[in-house]
Amino acid sequence: MGSEAEEKKVFDAEAASSMMEKLRGSFSSGRTRSYEWRMTQLKNILRLCDEREQDIVDALRKDLSKPELESTIYEIGMLKNSCKVAVKELKHWMRPEKAKTSITTYPSSAEIVSEPLGVVLIISAWNYPFLLSLDPVVGAIAAGNAVVLKPSEISPATSSLLAKLMPEYLDSSSIMVVEGAVPETTSLLEQKWEKIFYTGNGKVGRIVMAAAAKHLTPVVLELGGKSPAVVDSGIDLQIAVRRIIVGKWACNNGQACISSDYIITTKDYAPKVVDALKHELEKFYGKNPLESKDLSRIVNANHFARLTKLLDDDKVSGKIVHGGERDKDNLNISPTILLDVPRDSLIMNEEIFGPLLPILTVDKVEDSFDIINSGTKPLAAYLFTNNKKLKQQFVATVSAGGLVINDTTVHLAVHTLPFGGVGESGIGSYHGKFSFDAFSHKKAVVYRSFAGDASIRYPPYTPGKLRLLKALLGGSIIGIIRALLGWS
C-alpha cells in the first residue's frame, strides 16, 4: 500500500516522459492501427460497462450522490451507445473515402485516408466523470491512437475506479490512466502530444491551449457557457417546463455544461412559467427537495460556497421566488428559481453550474435573441415555441454549439450530430463519427500512372503552353479547345 502511494506521489515530468516513451514505442509498433486491436478494445469497454455496472453506480453515488437512474442511463448507457455505434461503423469509418480529381491531373484517382494521430491526451471533467472520461477514449481508440486518460481528481471515487478497471479490460501498453491533480496534469501538459482533448471550464481550457501551443499540438476543448432557454407563449407549458426541469435538475442537479443556465420569457408570460415550474418541481422532488433521493448533491464545499455567493449577492437575494434552501453539511441546495434578475448581477456573468435558474423578462420574445447574442456564445441554446417564423429566426441568428427546439439536452444523444462549442464554449466536436474524425488525420492521396504525361508542364515555357495551362486551370472545355487551336 505504501509503495502504491509512493508511485502516485512521484508522477512528475520525468515519469510522464518515461510513460510517453513506452506509448510511442507501442504506437510505432503499429499494434493500435489494426482493425482487430481497435475492435477488441471497444468490445472490452462494453464488457467493462456490463460487468462493473454496480461498481460504477456506487462510485458516482460516492462522488456526487448521483441517482442510480442518472448513472445508469446518462453515464453508462450513453457510453455503451457510443461503443455500439463505433463497433458497428468502424470498418466503414476506416475505409478510404473516394475523392474526385480534375482534368489538370488526368488521368488520376484520389482518396482521403484516415490515419491515427499518434499518442493523445484526454483530460476529463468531474460532473459526468465516467461518461466524459471514456466517451472521448472510444473515439481515440476507434481512430487507432495510443491514449492517456487523466480523470478529474474532484470525482475521486470514479477516478480511482477507472485507474483500477482500465488496465484490467484494456491494453495497458497503449492505453494508460494517470490520476492526480494540478502537479500531475502539469507534468502531462509538458509533454508533446499529437492531440489534447479537454473537457471542463474556460479558465483551465486556456492553460491547456497555452501548453499545447508550445508544441503546436491541436486541441479539442469542450467547455461550457450560459446556455439559455427561451420560452414563448402559446405552447404546452407543462411539457415545456418538465423538459426544462429534466435538462436542468435531473442532469446532475444543474452541474452539466448543457443544462439551461437561465430562462428568457416575456413579462406577461413569466408568472405562468414560474407557477408551472413550481408545480412540476414539487411533483418531481416533493415539498422538501433537500430530502429527495433523486437529486445529486453539489460536488464539494468549494462549489457549494461559490453557489452560495451567487445566491447571496445583494442584486439577486430578493429575487428568489422558489427554493433557495441549503444544507451545508450534506452539500445540498434545493432547486431555486429567481425572477427578474438584473443582467449585471454576478449570477448572470458566470456559468452557474448548479441548481439555480434565473429568469429574465423581455417585452417581446424576439428581444431574447439580442440578449443571447450580446454575450459569449453558449454551448447550447433552447427555444420553446409553436411559431414557425420564430424557429427560423432562432436558427438563423443565434450562434451556439447546438440548438434544440421544444426540448433541452437531447441533441447530446444524437450520434449523427457533432457535439461541441463555438467561441468561448469550445473548439472542435465529437460523438459518433465526429469522435473518430477528432482523433484522425485526413491524409490526401493521389494515384497517377506514367501514361498521359503532358509536356506543357515542363520548360521551356512558351506562350502556347501558358494559354493551355490557364485554360486547364480555368476548367472551361471551350477555353481548352481555343487554346489548343491557338486562339487567344
Told to judge if 68 belongs to the known catalytic residues of this protein, a careful annotator would answer: no
| Residues contacting residue 94 through CB under 8 Å, at least 6 positions apart | 35, 114
Calculate helix-pair angle for 78-94, 131-142, nearest 10 degrees. Answer: 10
Contacts 24+ apart (CB under 8 A), 325-328: 325/288, 325/289, 325/290, 327/290, 328/304
Among residues 228, 188, 241, 233, which one has the least CA distance to residue 375? 228
Name residue 32's beta-bridge partners.
Answer: none
- Outline where DSSP puts E strands in 240-319: 262-266
Q: How many CB atoms lie under 10 A from the CB of residue 275?
A: 14
184, 222, 351, 424: which one is catalytic? 222
Give the whole-angstrom CA distance, residue 120 versus residue 269.
Answer: 49
Cα three-residue angle 334-247-234, rounded to 5 degrees? 105
Told to judge if 6 belongs to the known catalytic residues of this protein, a careful annotator would answer: no
Which helix (H) or strand (E) element contains residue 356? strand 356-362
Cβ-count burial 210-229 (b if 16+ within 10 Å, e if not): ebbeeeebbbbbbbbbbbbb
Which 3 state secondary structure label does DSSP give 140? helix
49, 83, 251, 257: which one is catalytic? 257
Question: Given the C-alpha cell 439551461, which residue does it identify?
Answer: 260
Among residues 349, 363, 384, 445, which one has the least CA distance to residue 114? 445
Give the whole-angstrom CA distance, residue 483 versus residue 105.
Answer: 18
Question: Which positions are catalytic?
Answer: 222, 257
